[in-house]
């Protein structure tokens, strides 16, 4: 007989204290805490609240309404972790001072030796970062989810508009066509 599995912790990623409050009150399952993600986080971000406005590069503009009221999250009595621009000793100190249990770090680990990013691409991005020349765009079209997505601008990749437009589309449905299972 297979061993009994323990239920994993459920830590919803939130970008507003109103969402945290609603989840804590109305969830039919147990919530073990929250990941509070700022728009500076790598990967996907919540879109800005209110009418979408963009800057000259086409990036969404975030404002005061997008700042999470950490006191309101803390008042829910559940642990929370801050994500998005917190991956430093100073970020951790600020998170702990705000009442967080800690921080979530993602982008730093994406570029670790053990990550699955193609090594030559990783090396090029890290070299740009070392020179202080890294350019990251919050793209509204990069992800099939419809959520803004961080894209490193790197020559010879789909971050270049021409290459992006010319690439063969293989994920045009937004879901898998056939079931996929790993051994």
Please give the average per-residue pLDDT across 93-103, as a whole number. 97
The count of other CB atoms within 10 Å of the CB of residue 12 is: 15
From residue 9, give the alpha-carbon distance in Å to each of 4, 27, 44, 67, 137. Answer: 16, 14, 21, 25, 32
**What CA–CA distance (Å, rounded) separates 26 from 8?**
20
pLDDT in tens, 169-181: 776 666 666 677 7
43 with 148: CB under 8 angstroms? no
Residue-averaged pLDDT of the chain: 91
Strands 136-139 and 149-152 come out as antiparallel
The pLDDT value recorded for residue 172 is 63
Is residue 87 classed as helix, strand or coil in its secondary structure? coil
Strand (E) or helix (H) holding 14: strand 13-14
Residue 68 has pLDDT above 90, yes or no: yes
- Give the model's pLDDT for residue 49: 92
Contacting residues for 175 by C-beta, under 8 A, at least 6 apart = none
d(CA 55, CA 152): 17
- Single pTM value for the model: 0.82
- What are residue 82's phi and psi, to 5 degrees? -95, 140
What pLDDT is recorded for position 174? 66
Q: Across the strands, what pairs with 139?
A: 149
The rounded distance, in Å, linking the Cα atoms of 64 and 41 is 17
Could you tell me the maximum CA-CA distance found in the chain, to the nearest angstrom? 60
- Token readout for 5 is 């599995």
| % the chain with pLDDT above 70 | 95
CA distances (Å), origin 177, targets 46, 132, 170:
26, 41, 11
Query: pLDDT class for 168, splitting at 50, 70, 90?
Result: confident
The answer to whether residue 58 scores a pLDDT higher than 70 is: yes
| pLDDT at residue 113 in the model | 92
pLDDT on residue 177:
65
Q: Residue 64: its pLDDT value, please?
A: 92
Q: Is the pLDDT of residue 128 over 70?
A: yes
Residue for token pair 């079931």: 179
Q: What are phi and psi of 13, to 5 degrees?
A: -90, 125
Confidence check: pLDDT of 28 > 70: yes
């Amino acid at each position: 007989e297979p061993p009994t599995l323990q239920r994993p912790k459920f830590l919803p990623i939130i970008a507003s204290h109103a969402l945290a409050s609603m989840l804590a009150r109305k969830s039919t399952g147990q919530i073990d805490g929250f990941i509070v993600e700022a728009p500076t986080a790598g990967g996907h971000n919540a879109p800005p609240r209110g009418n979408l406005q963009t800057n000259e590069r086409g990036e969404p503009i975030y404002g005061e309404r997008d700042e999470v009221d950490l006191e309101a999250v803390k008042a829910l009595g559940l642990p929370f972790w801050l994500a998005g621009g917190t991956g430093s000793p100073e970020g951790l100190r600020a998170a702990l001072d705000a009442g967080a249990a800690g921080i979530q770090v993602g982008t730093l680990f994406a570029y670790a030796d053990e990550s699955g990013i193609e090594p030559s691409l990783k090396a090029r991005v890290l070299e740009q970062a070392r020179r202080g020349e890294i350019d990251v765009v919050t793209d509204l079209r990069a992800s099939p989810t419809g959520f803004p997505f961080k894209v490193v601008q790197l020559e010879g990749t789909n971050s270049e508009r021409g290459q992006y437009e010319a690439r063969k589309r293989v994920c045009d449905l937004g879901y898998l066509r056939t079931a996929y299972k790993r051994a």
